[in-house]
């Protein structure tokens, strides 16, 4: 549901943070223009948000019933309503959008779980709380009660939407909706190993993480999803069991795994990642580290244990609807192995053309090297560690059973070629 959460938030942002051009108030239907820019939460159950920016006032309520979210947005401007209406109607994830009397009623087209909706509510509350409308903005910190106490076992990434377009005749210009920066997240709870209190781990010398943008070292049993380089923390969903730990390793038993909210850090044509792992049993499709999309026709990649072989599966949806598979090599149970996947650019000395190569290494030895024509930067869904984080019903067996010492990921660009 992460995609719908993101789109719902963007649509909401478009309705409550619209920007008007100029100082002409004649386009507003309200008898009195609200004073000052602000955003505040009127109530949390149901969630009702009141906002004003550059004279555009809105009041948005969110209803959740039978797994469906309905958003009702009331605005003081018919032109703002038309722009918000257009934004909602252009989004295919809404099954119904009705616009009349300066009100937009949008009904989600996909099911939300209760936890999804609680995450979405907290996302909106935090965005409202973080809205910088100047000195006239009242504080909303005092109203964080029921939603802020919800135990969030997952998180959602807020990504910038495309610019919302309107014609100059409407008195509006193109607006980029960015109530929260694209690198921000609603932080979920830290992943605490089920046996954290039983471990007494010695301090380790810090690893050399040069060249990596993300690093899961699994060194803190009270924060197993911590990113030791960047801000791409991993989390535990409520629909899987808790993970356990050994000193400097996460232990996965076939019923659990972590998910990583998708961010631009992982959207690259060139990248490298390393995983040090120990398989404890063979698996038909044991996801180790994956950006596995739901369904077909989507770009993604998977480092997977298939039987006793580690394989790298990838799909560029614009090139093919099928998965391509490259074998890294055979591994033994109950022993540590290191896999390195590297997709990198190079420039031909003769033609000056930039081309890409794929190298796959196992335990320090290159096992596969070939020209690579796919572009895996067009990811749309969360990543997973140890399982299919998209929780597809036909992927119940895609769990890795074993230990992972670390996962490290780095971007490789064409700069300097």
Asked if pLDDT for residue 12 goes beyond 70, the answer is: no
309 sits in which H/E element: strand 309-315
Q: For residue 25, give every residue at least 6 positions away whose Cβ sits within 8 Å of its Cβ, in sequence order, or none.
A: 33, 55
Boundaries of every domain in the chain: 2-170, 196-411
Asked if pLDDT for residue 166 goes beyond 90, the answer is: no
DSSP letters for 172-199: ---B---SS-TT-B--------TTGGG-
> Which residue has better confidence, 300 or 398?
300
Rg of the chain, C-alpha, whole Å:
24
* pLDDT one-digit tens code per residue, 243-299: 999 999 999 999 999 999 999 999 999 999 999 999 999 988 999 999 999 878 899
Kind of pairing between the strands at 68-75 and 56-65? antiparallel
Q: What is the pTM of this model?
A: 0.58
Q: Does domain 196-411 have CATH number 3.40.50.12660?
A: no
d(CA 232, CA 216) in angstroms, rounded, equals: 9
Task: Using alpha carbons, list the distances in angstroms from residue 13 to 84, 91, 128.
Answer: 9, 13, 10
């Amino acid at each position: 549901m992460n995609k719908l959460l993101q789109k719902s938030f963007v649509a909401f942002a478009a309705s409550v943070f619209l920007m008007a051009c100029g100082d002409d108030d004649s386009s507003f239907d309200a008898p009195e223009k609200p004073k000052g820019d602000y955003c505040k939460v009127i109530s949390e159950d149901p969630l009702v948000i009141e906002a004003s920016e550059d004279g555009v006032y809105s009041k948005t309520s969110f209803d959740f019933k039978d797994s469906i979210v309905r958003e009702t947005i009331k605005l003081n401007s018919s032109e703002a309503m038309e722009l918000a209406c257009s934004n909602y109607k252009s989004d295919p994830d809404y099954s119904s959008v009705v616009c009349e009397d300066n009100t937009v009623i949008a009904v989600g087209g996909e099911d939300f779980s209760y936890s999804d909706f609680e995450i979405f509510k907290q996302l909106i509350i935090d965005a409202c709380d973080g809205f910088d409308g100047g000195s006239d903005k009242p504080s909303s910190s005092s109203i964080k009660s029921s939603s802020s106490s919800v135990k969030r076992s997952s998180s959602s990434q807020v990504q910038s939407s495309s610019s919302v377009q309107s014609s100059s005749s409407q008195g509006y210009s193109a607006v980029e909706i960015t109530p929260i920066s694209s690198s921000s997240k609603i932080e979920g709870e830290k992943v605490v190993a089920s046996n954290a209190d039983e471990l007494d781990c010695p301090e380790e010398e810090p690893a050399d993480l040069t060249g990596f943008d993300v690093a899961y070292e699994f060194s803190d049993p009270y924060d197993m999803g911590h990113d030791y380089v960047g801000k791409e923390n991993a989390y535990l969903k409520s629909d899987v069991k808790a993970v356990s730990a050994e000193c400097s390793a996460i232990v996965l038993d076939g019923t659990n795994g972590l998910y990583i909210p998708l961010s631009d850090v992982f959207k690259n044509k060139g990248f490298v990642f390393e995983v040090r792992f120990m398989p404890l049993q063979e698996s038909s499709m044991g996801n180790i580290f994956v950006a596995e999309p739901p369904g077909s026709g989507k770009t993604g990649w998977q480092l997977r244990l298939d039987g006793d072989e580690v394989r790298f599966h990838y799909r560029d949806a614009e090139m093919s609807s099928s998965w391509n598979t490259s074998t890294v090599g055979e591994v033994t149970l109950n022993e540590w192995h290191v896999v390195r996947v590297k997709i990198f650019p190079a420039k031909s000395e003769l033609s000056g053309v930039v081309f890409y190569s794929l190298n796959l290494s196992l335990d320090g030895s290159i096992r596969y090297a070939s020209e690579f024509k796919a572009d895996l930067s067009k990811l749309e869904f969360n990543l997973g560690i140890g399982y299919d984080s998209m929780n597809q019903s036909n992927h119940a067996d895609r769990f890795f059973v074993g230990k992972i010492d670390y996962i490290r990921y780095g971007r490789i660009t064409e700069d300097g070629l």
